[in-house]
Amino acid sequence: MIRTAAQQTAFLALALTLAASKARADASSATFSLNNLPNTWQQGQSGTNQCSQWLPSNQNSLCQNVFINSATDFCLWAPRSPGTIGDTERDEVAWCTSAGYGTRLIPEGTLKSVHFVKTKAYVQVTGTGDFTKMNIVAGDDGGELDPHGADGNGNPIGGLVYTNAFGGQYQQIHQWTNFMSANEYCFKACIDAPDAETQCNHIFDLQGCFWNMPANYGDGFEQCQGDVAQYPGVYGSSTYYQGPDGENPAPPPHPAPASYNCSPEPSPGNGLTAPAPSSPATRSGSGSAASSSAAAAVSASLAASASAAAAASASSASALAALSSTTSASNTVSTAPAVTSVIPVVIPPQQGFSTSTLFVSAAVSTTTTASGSRSGVKTGAAPEGLLQARTSVLSACLAGAVAVYALVA
């Protein structure tokens, strides 16, 4: 068959689109050793993964590496300057309880409760706090950070997550989810496994912490072991589907899994106190004036608390050096192995549950999914659908196949 110029152009555009889709799907599975991190690795990344310039810590750091190790040694994602999570999700930076990583520090008094749980499948930390001290504006209902943004990059773009909770050796976490609001947080980091993406599901971004991670959010600071939670959003053979605008009512969350062998822990401390806000925060999302005031206040606070921060940093200043000794010397950028599995894709009716399920064999590491937190997310609201993302990919692939066949037939 002789194709016209228009058909050739359409064929080329389709091929490029499919190739780009595959590249975006692979991006979230890239693996980096801690002793040789990239400067940036995702298009549009505004921070960096090379953070030694801010060692042991710096409140102006643009480091985008998070560590989740224990009840007294973990990090959270938060804005670099005052704003809502929905407006800043692409550019969040790491805020940590401990110095030694080149990140910003979570000011003392920010965390009101910490409940750290280690299971055989993941580590998780949940609790409450005053996150206006970490640039989340007062009253923000928050949103979700995860490695699966709608364009294939993460939220934040280029964010990397590591843990040493399993045997003391650092390993990269490829599937994780972190919900942040002005007064609540939760972070789950799933180790590599065929069901890691389902356990650390990132598509229920309107639900908030307790629905996605039912756990202890009450007073206290503790470290526990625990049972593995039921998959969020999965009920028997059906997967909950929110609908394009959250119109489908959400089912109740699963019960919190059992935790045990709990030990009380001190409130994380690092000697840094947060500056008092110079003016009331707004929820406009622009944050330019607030950012300038906050930056000046942070600088003053740093000067006032430098001695205390240095003392706190001394105990963990060797942390980053220890990272190198626990990782391999090579740093080839690789892609996590594709795990072929049968993925249940639920065909949704109007009210969010299906009577039939389409089972699709797919490579988990190359599944393109959509996410991204939204401004004004409420705990207990409705999620963004796994089905919507996966069926969109399937539909695009089927449409592409039909188009290619029509062009070459």
pLDDT score recorded for residue 404:
34
CB–CB of 400/17 below 8 Å?
yes
CB-facing half-sphere around the CA of 60: CA atoms within 13 A: 13
Amino acid in the structure at residue 43 = Q
For the chain, how many structural domains are there in total? 1
**258/224 Cα distance (integer angstroms):** 10
pLDDT score recorded for residue 274:
75
pLDDT score recorded for residue 150:
86
pLDDT score recorded for residue 203:
87
pLDDT score recorded for residue 207:
85
**359/356 Cα distance (integer angstroms):** 10
Helix (H) or strand (E) holding 15: helix 5-27
Residues in the chain: 409
**295's tokens:** 């930056």
Find the domain containing 272 and state its range. Answer: 5-408
Residue environment code for 119-148, b if the CB has 16+ CB neighbours within 10 A, otherwise e: bebbbbbbbbbbbbbbbbbeebbbbbbbbb
**115/129 Cα distance (integer angstroms):** 12
Q: Which positions ≥6 away from 214 have C-beta within 8 Å? A: 229, 253, 254, 255, 256, 257
CB–CB of 238/281 below 8 Å?
no
**59/295 Cα distance (integer angstroms):** 9
Q: Are strands 160-163 and 143-145 parallel, antiparallel or unpaired?
A: unpaired
Question: Would you tell me how many other CB atoms lie within 10 Å of the CB of residue 356?
Answer: 9
Provide the residue-wise pLDDT of the chain in tens; the chain has 409 residues: 343 455 444 444 444 444 444 444 444 579 999 999 999 999 999 999 999 999 999 999 999 999 999 999 999 999 999 999 999 999 999 999 999 999 999 999 999 999 999 999 999 999 999 999 999 999 999 999 999 998 989 999 999 999 999 999 999 999 999 999 999 999 999 999 999 999 999 888 888 999 999 999 999 999 999 999 999 999 999 999 777 677 788 899 999 999 999 999 999 989 998 764 433 333 333 333 333 333 333 344 334 434 443 444 443 444 444 444 443 333 433 333 333 333 333 333 333 333 333 333 333 333 333 333 333 343 333 333 333 333 343 344 334 443 433 333 3
CB–CB of 185/214 below 8 Å?
no
CA-based R_g, the chain, Å? 22
pLDDT score recorded for residue 84:
99
